[in-house]
Amino acid sequence: MTGFGDAAAQHEGVNYAVELRSLNNRYFKASIRLPDDLSGLEPELETLLRKRVSRGSLTLTVTYKDTAAVSSHRINEDSLAQYLRQFETVQQATSGKAPITIDLGTLLSLPGVTQQPDRASVLEKARPIVRDLADKACAKMLTMRETEGRGVADDLIAHCGFIRERLDIVLDRAPRVVEEYHQRLHTRIDELLKRAQLEVERPDLIREVAIYAERSDISEEAQRLGAHLVHFGQIIDDAGDDAAGRRLDFLTQELLREANTIASKSNDAEISRTVVEIKGAIDRIKEQVQNVE
């Protein structure tokens, strides 16, 4: 499900900010964007997210701005002095010629003159702050996802109710299909026998109807479909089910399997139309459960 969370803090002259975005995905996928100085935090931040989220495409962005004087580049005085001594030597060697001018910016760009702050020190200082901010941003994002999740749950329950109504129509229609087949078969045989002036044994007619009834019997599939719907609703109601999304995904496949079997066994136009409506609702459920964690 979609969601957004952010958090920010300032510590010892350093401004930290964390943003976390979540998009729909049936699997867990994390993209963590960190400044170079904090790149070492990536594994532990991904672990933190995995503990809180099991599904979704997550993008975690960390930024920081260090305005403290102690964090600025430092001048290596020994290195600078050595460069100056070399310039003096060159100037003495070129006595009487054009004087050598030294540009400060060029001087500071020479290798070894300036030194960056210790990256390990920066990382250790930032670790607890960034982890805390990531946890707060994740909490905000999950709150937003829960709000969306309640809407998804209501939608799934509505689809299940629609399937239940259509299944009742199928169950009401099924016995009449066999009776209508019996009547059509009896009428057709009577017409053919009158033309040929023959008679058919009643047991043979009953046997044929029984074979058709057995082949088109959908009671077992309908019972399983109804049981899956009940189980589906129980999973939605169980707020503490950590694997709800995957279980609902599996049940959706089972719902579709039973609906397809009913459609293949029933040789009736009205039942076929109703099953098409059931399968349409199952497809919409299938799309929604991809977003359920």
**Residue appearing with tokens 């497809």:** 283
**107-111 long-range Cβ contacts below 8 angstroms, 24+ apart:** 107/80, 107/83, 108/75, 110/79, 110/83
**Residue appearing with tokens 């009205």:** 270
Q: Give the separation between CA 181 and CA 187, rounded to whole angstroms.
A: 10
Query: Cβ distance 31 to 58 under 8 Å?
Result: yes
User: Is residue 264 located within the same domain as residue 216?
Assistant: yes
- The CA angle 107-109-111, to the nearest 5 degrees, is 100
Query: Cβ distance 41 to 130 under 8 Å?
Result: yes
User: Is residue 177 located within the same domain as residue 259?
Assistant: yes
Q: Is the dihedral of CA 143, 147, 148, 154 positive or negative?
A: positive
User: Is residue 179 located within the same domain as residue 265?
Assistant: yes
| Count of Cβ atoms closer than 10 Å to residue 165 Cβ | 13
Domain with 15 in it: 3-70+119-146
Q: Count CA atoms closer than 13 A to 86's CA, side-chain side.
A: 8
Q: What is the pLDDT of residue 106?
A: 67
Q: What is the pLDDT of residue 11?
A: 84
User: Is residue 195 located within the same domain as residue 254?
Assistant: yes
pLDDT under 50 in the chain at which residues? 69-71, 198
Q: What is the pLDDT of residue 69?
A: 44
User: Is residue 176 located within the same domain as residue 142?
Assistant: no
User: Is residue 24 located within the same domain as residue 135?
Assistant: yes
N- to C-terminal Cα separation, the chain: 8
Structure tokens at 163: 């399937």
User: Is residue 227 located within the same domain as residue 123?
Assistant: no
Stated pTM of the model: 0.59
Query: Cβ distance 159 to 284 under 8 Å?
Result: yes
User: Is residue 101 located within the same domain as residue 158?
Assistant: no
Structure tokens at 44: 């532990």
- Work out the burial of residue 18: count CB atoms within 10 Å of its CB; fewer than 13 is exposed, 13-18 middle, 19 or more buried: buried
User: Is residue 59 located within the same domain as residue 108?
Assistant: no
User: Is residue 163 located within the same domain as residue 90?
Assistant: no
**Residue appearing with tokens 């049940």:** 251
Number of domains composing the chain: 3
User: Is residue 153 located within the same domain as residue 275?
Assistant: yes
Query: Cβ distance 7 to 25 under 8 Å?
Result: no
Alpha-helical segments (H) within 197-243: 202-215, 219-237
Query: Cβ distance 291 to 1 under 8 Å?
Result: yes
